[in-house]
Structure 1
Amino acid sequence: MSTPSKLAAAALSAVFAGAAAAAATAAPVLKVEASSDTMIWNAVAVDGKRVFVAGPRWTGSQGPALGLIGKDGKPVPYPDAAWNGWKEGGDNGRAFVNVNAIHLDGRGSLWVIDTGSPQFGGDPLPGGAKAVQIDLKSNRVVRTIAFGPDVALPGSYVDDIRFNGRHAYLTDAGKPGLIVVDLDTGKSRRVLDNHPSVVAPRTRPIDVAGTIVRGADGEPLAVNVDPFELSLDRKTLYYGPLTGPWSQVPTRLLDDPSTTATTLAAAVRPWADLPPIGGSVLDARGNLFYTELRTSSLVKRAPDGKVTTVLSDPRLHWVDAPTIANGRIWLPVAQMDRVPVFNGGTSKVQQPVTLYSIDMKEIQQ
């Protein structure tokens, strides 16, 4: 027979065990890093203590196209006011027409991807579509790679960038295809134009928290090749339309300009049947973190294909391009489906627009 003291000890042990189990399954804490009542941020980059944010002009965002969060929590134009001062009829090549993405190259530069059109779905303006390299030490633009009319086509929406040695890859979410840039020469070329792997399937609508996103014509919005990541060994590019599925292709074939369209197309293979996502980031262990739009969730896909929901929270309504920096995963909640262009000209954005982060230690690896 158990003594009272033994029963008490057992009960206490059970309490501690229950508390430990609860702590192990506790949801990660969302930390507010920045917020705004006037700007919509779909992109973030973190360099040490500096936090950069950016967002497209067509969302109705009011403020710098690319901003550096100041000590007061407000973004100041970066690298300067001139680059953020584009006006119709001005020099499209020396100002941000419409910033869709920002990305660190790991070599001391921040790159800014400009679609070149101030309107959603509009054709790129002459000289407007470009990748702008900013040196983070001097805070000056050191290079601009313009995408000519043979690369940024009518209907193009140059979306995002990833780096692989002396090459860079970009997605075109408007005119479906990939763009490969030789960083030594600055020359760019299109590949996989209209290949099935880059075209948004009409049978997979963009479902955000239970509502289908529709364009100005009332039809379900189709966003072609958009999210993508490089494998850790840099030998494979994973990519897909916003609604999935994702495919894979060897980077050695992308990098070689002599690779024929037929050879490249034949090398494309299925990779993962991911749902509609706002954005993705790959960590140093090969885990793919992506933001699922239908459930307002941050999800982890392990290298073995196992999928785990990290956090589901209505505050994560259309998190766009996340990034990992300073031991945290940064989550810009863009609420893109709520902007006027997708709601008959009326904004349904719930202010403030917020940039969250989560401590990576809270995410079981």
Structure 2
Amino acid sequence: MKRSFASFCAIALLSLSSGLFLKGSMAGAAIGQPTPQLTEVARSPRLWNVVAVSAEGRIFASFPRWLGDATPSVGEVMPDGSVRAFPGDDWNQWTPGASSQRRFVNVNSVQVDAQNNLWVVDSASPRFGQPVIPGGPKLVQIDLVTNQVKRVYNFSPEIAPARSTLNDVQVRDGYAYLTESGLGAIIVVDLKSGQARRVLANHPSTKSDPTIVPVVEGRELRDADGRVPQTHANAIALSPDGTWLYFQPTYGPNLLRVRTADLRNTRLSETDLGQRVERLGKTVASGGMTVDRRGILYLADIEKNAIAMRCPNGQLKPLVQDSRLTWPDGGSMGRDGNLYFPVAQVHRLPRFSGGVDRTEKPFRLFKVNTQSVQC
């Protein structure tokens, strides 16, 4: 049953205050199903936060500069587990003060589309909380047949303001949909014309709930000043038929969706578009989500060191839980039925650990087979 956004916000706050929010959110696992095998694929000395897998099985990863590392910003994971900078040339050679036009400043996400293009989201903000480098925010299309940059979509300050953080991306049918988690919005890009629109920027669906305090590995996630970082619209996924865009702020508390046709409709006012956002019920605190062809959503559960799955009927179940999954992040479904995802250890960064880098090297990339999963 659909409810107005105001009513579901009230329900979410009531659930939170009563201590029911997120507790037992993975208690609906089917009994008797075999536990999927968690397999390590590769290791990296640098932090990676999102992976993308092509139809041929090529694996790409984004490497944000959250620890001040240099290169690469985008890498291809080779069959032997090593990582090479991709696509080459100067794209992975940005340094402070250099031009950001044809260089990656701070890559936050990668995705491969059905036409074998790799899409790279450059937020152009080198560190958490820092303003973007002017002229730097962009979406880059790379042809995986030629391994060459095909087109660069630069975003103006109206689309990517100084305090914005371009985050995840989904591409289908000539449009790209990006979440913006710094201020909270969804960016819709017409890939033919290059025109971009910033929508739902004043709607509560794209905003983090300041009353939620996530707990990761037994510690509340807080900045050095004691504040909970407000990460707004973050994880997104498209339904298998492309009709719906699923999204949520990092900590939830609800999974949301909106029709892609409504996002593309330039005649809808912001108010009308906001009224078409639907609440689908409680979710987990997650930095990334992936969908398979059956419509099962896989959510990287940062509080439980786990991957949760949301069935088409709305039920949340555990897929895999393991102590090694310290802040699992943005994943990708391979044609082999494996869900690939990196472990980012975001909560161990100096920003959240009293100025001390508590990450454990190397950073790991895992896969788990989903073919036997049943809802």
Preserved contact between residue 206 and residue 248 of structure 2 (Cα < 8 Å): yes
Find the counterpart in structure 1 of residue 347 from structure 2.
337
- Contact 1:200–1:225 (CA under 8 A) maintained in structure 2: yes
TM-score relative to the length of structure 1 = 0.90
| Partner of residue 284 from structure 1, selected from 270, 275, 293 | 293
Q: Deviations over 1:207-231 (max 9, x none)?
A: 2133221124321111000012222
2:254 aligned with 1:258, yes or no? no
SS in 2 for 1:93: coil
Give the stretch that moved more between structures: 313-322 or 354-363. Answer: 354-363
Looking at structure 2, the residues matched to 80 and 159 of structure 1 have their Cα atoms a distance apart, in angstroms, of 23
Give the corresponding residue for 2:150: 142
- The answer as to 2:56 corresponding to 1:46 is no
- Structure 1 or 2: more helix by fraction: 1
Please say if residues 160 and 170 of structure 1, whose CA atoms lie closer than 8 Å, have aligned partners that are also in contact.
yes
Residues 64-113 of structure 1 show CA distances to partners (whole Å, capped at 9, x for unaligned) of 11111235422111000410000111111210000000001111210000
What are structure 1's unaligned runs of at least 5 residues? 1-22
SS at match of 2:93: coil
Q: Among all aligned residue pairs of Structure 1 and Structure 2, give the percentage whose two residues are the same amino acid.
A: 36
Residue identity in the other structure for 1:180:
V
2:278 pairs with one of 269, 276, 301: 269
Contact 1:205 1:222 in 2 (8 A): no
- Counterpart-to-counterpart distance in 2, 1:280 and 1:243: 13
- Which residue is equivalent to 1:76? 84
TM-score (norm 2): 0.87
Partner of 1:178: 186
Q: Is the 8 A contact 1:329 1:358 kept in 2?
A: yes
Q: Does the Cα contact within 8 Å between 1:151 and 1:190 map onto a contact in 2?
A: yes
Q: What's the offset of the Cα at 1:332?
A: 0.5
Equivalent position to 2:308, from 281, 299, 304 = 299
Structure 2 gaps, min length 5: 1-30
Aligned with 1:206 (options 214, 229, 238):
214
Matches within 5 A, 1:30-45: 30-36=38-44, 38-45=45-52
Q: Which has the larger radius of gyration?
A: 1
Matches within 5 A, 1:95-134: 95-134=103-142
Aligned mates of 1:338, 1:129 — CA distance in 2? 26
Superposed, 1:6-17 pairs within 5 Å as none
Letter in 1 for 2:359: V
**Alpha-carbon separation, structure 2, partners of 1:188 and 1:168:** 9
1:246 aligns with 2:255: yes
In 1, the alpha carbon distance for the partners of 2:193 and 2:298 equals 33
- Pick 1 or 2: higher relative contact order, CA cutoff 8 A, min separation 6: 2
Q: Distance in 1 between matches of 2:69 and 2:340?
A: 20
Deviates more, 1:27-36 or 1:59-68: 59-68
Larger deviation, residues 201-210 vs 285-294: 201-210
- AA paired with 1:305? G
